[in-house]
Structure 1
């Protein structure tokens, strides 16, 4: 028989959460009961679009014609969403933690450092056509 373990967050951690449990449960309920409306709101609130989408979800789960498409007619810039928009307020915070095969080889990379590396590599790709 397996034991059930719980590891509740500290009060400080709970207070720093982006959403409290009640808000999370409300969001979860809406995501189940009104998925298209919920994900439309999330797509508009959380993502900067170069070309906004007009359809949230175009999916079929039929085994013969399985197709899952989210925001299919929209266009976004993943780098802008993941890096650029965080530079002004979170530039020096850790964006990525690299840990090599040897755990003693690790590196914390800030948003600013990662942005610089991404820009350098983008220029390499541009130079290669």
Structure 2
């Protein structure tokens, strides 16, 4: 998936590569929320394998999102107009929690 950010020429392979800008140009910016069950899978993240082979860990929607929201409030004391920065990599659970899901919750 290619995102065009400037006017530089790009080379891509038709049928394999897609230009994001072309895919979304006729789409609405509105997106209705999807109703989810509290136990629906939110994401699957593999462990680092520090104690053996990496294992896939499944996180369900409700409990994970609730904890991310609560720790954003209790630990970081985030307010509506705060600027927030987290340098964690989204490939790690801290990044998932405090770069993506916590701020969105």
Normalising TM by the smaller chain, what interval? 0.3 to 0.5
Instruction: Calculate the TM-score normalised by the size of structure 1.
Output: 0.33
Structure index of larger Rg:
1
| Structure 1 or 2: more helix by fraction | 1
More relative contact order, 1 or 2 (CA 8 Å, 6+ apart): 2
Instruction: Calculate the TM-score normalised by the size of structure 2.
Output: 0.39
